[in-house]
Amino acid sequence: MISVTRAEVCAVACAELFRDAGEIMVSPMAPMVAIGARLARLTFSPDILLTDGEARLLADTPPMGATGAIEGWMPFSRVFETLAWGRRHVVMGANQIDRYGNQNLSAFGPIQHPKRQMFGVRGAPGNTINHATSYWVGNHSARVFGGSVDVVSGIGWDKVDSGNPAYRFVNVYRVVTNLGVFDFNGPDHQMRAVSLHPGVEAGQVAENTGFEVHGLDSAETTRLPTGDEQKLIQETIDPRGLRDREVKAVKS
């Protein structure tokens, strides 16, 4: 029997975010998601566009940390235009995320006098109101998934003003964590379990989440990588094993 690690399951779950995405720019903000995006491009979503983390669009799909042939130019100004255009799916991290998908990567505590300062809201407000946004959380805990977020950086579904058509492009799509895959198709767009990774119990997710996760009992099991996918992850995309630094090597 083939042995599969939790990190490999997470990489596949991240890749699945981009299934049927078509010809759009994919912006992974963490190594695990970058591994998933490369896997998607090498398998079921060959048309997605990826950058090298700077302003080059990659024609090749090089291993993590390596460079490859390019196919175009994507400076920050063009990123802003592309995101307003909507042809983008970003996967951000989150210091906090609530039941409606509001995300914080700015600071903890009061807005003008925080207890801890992180980056600031960065592009999260513009990303979330313009195009598909997902999140990757490598350490699923009640600290991250709490009752409310201190600084709403990426907006959640409860912020959508149905009377204002400017919100019509909001698509807070999914959250992938080390425990499972979640969407916002619970009641009133609350977080719902889509699948739990092999070996993860519903109770473990409930215990590590500060709000009720819908659909825990009916959640499926996250699929394992195929043999080809596993080989791609191990040998082609991430030979240095960056994935195992983000998610401990639990055998699935």
Partner 1 sequence: MTGVTDKRTTLEEAVSSIESGMTIGIGGWGSRRKPMAFVRALLRTGVTDLTVVSYGGPDVGLLCSAGKVKRLYYGFVSLDSPPFYDPWFAKARTTGAIEAREMDEGMLRCGLQAAAQRLPFLPIRAGLGSDVRAFWGDELKTVTSPYPTDDGGFEELVAMPALTLDAAFVHLNLGDASGNAAYTGIDPYFDDLFLMAADRRYLSVEKVVPTEELVKSVPPQALLINRMMVDSVVEAPNGAHFTTAEPDYHRDEKFQRHYAEAAGSDESWGAFYATYLAGDEADYQAAVRKFTADAAAAKEASK
Interface residue list for partner 1 (CB under 8 A): 54-56, 73, 75-77, 80, 83-84, 106-107, 109, 111-126, 128-130, 151-155, 159-161, 163-169
Closest to partner 1 by CB, 123 or 186: 123
Centre a 10 Å sphere on the Cβ of residue 185 and count the other Cβ atoms it contains: 14
Measured from the CB of residue 166, what is the shortest distance to partner 1 in angstroms? 4
Measured from the CB of residue 108, what is the shortest distance to partner 1 in angstroms? 10
Centre a 10 Å sphere on the Cβ of residue 11 and count the other Cβ atoms it contains: 32
> For residue 118, what are the CA distances in angstroms to 104, 122, 171, 191?
9, 10, 25, 25
Q: Give φ, ψ of 43 to 5 degrees.
A: -125, -90
Centre a 10 Å sphere on the Cβ of residue 244 and count the other Cβ atoms it contains: 14
Measured from the CB of residue 196, what is the shortest distance to partner 1 in angstroms? 30
Q: Are 156 and 116 in contact (CB under 8 A)?
A: no
CA nearest 21: which of 92, 86, 111, 106?
86
Measured from the CB of residue 177, what is the shortest distance to partner 1 in angstroms? 22
Closest to partner 1 by CB, 73 or 248: 73
Identify the DSSP state of 232. I
4: amino acid identity, one letter:
V
Element at 137 (helix H, strand E): strand 132-137
Q: Give φ, ψ of 47 to 5 degrees.
A: -90, -5
Distance separating alpha carbons of residues 18 and 35, to the nearest angstrom: 12
Distance separating alpha carbons of residues 212 and 228, to the nearest angstrom: 37
Identify the DSSP state of 130. H
Measured from the CB of residue 205, what is the shortest distance to partner 1 in angstroms? 27
Measured from the CB of residue 118, what is the shortest distance to partner 1 in angstroms? 6
Measured from the CB of residue 67, what is the shortest distance to partner 1 in angstroms? 12
